[in-house]
Amino acid sequence: MLVARSVALFVVAALFEIGGAWLVWQGVREHRGWIWIGAGVIALGAYGFVATLQPDGDFGRILAAYGGVFVAGSIAWGMVADGYRPDRWDVTGALICLAGMALIMYGPRNH
């Protein structure tokens, strides 16, 4: 159950961080204005809060593992929000990052 909760929190964190960065990008690069930028800043703050809800208490481990989720999530977000089409190297790299995330977070440990 802890792994399912952890994975769900990583997904929510990715939605907030990647979504927040995308909103700021839209506000600045696509000239959509301060409302978009402000919403992005709020979402980025929410990401920081969600990350603290992980069951594991090691900050370094959580953020290192989240990096893999961020890579794969960013590619997925680009596909949905911007019509980005990843090539085989994008997909392979994202899968490697997710495998690394799984090892960091859920590998057996002798505590």
CA–CA gap between residue 30 and residue 106 (Å, rounded): 39
pLDDT (0 to 100) of residue 111: 64
Model pTM?
Answer: 0.89
CA–CA gap between residue 73 and residue 77 (Å, rounded): 6
28-70 pLDDT tens trace: 999 999 999 999 999 999 999 999 999 988 999 999 999 999 9
Per-residue pLDDT averaged across 82-86, rounded?
95
101-111 pLDDT tens trace: 999 999 998 86
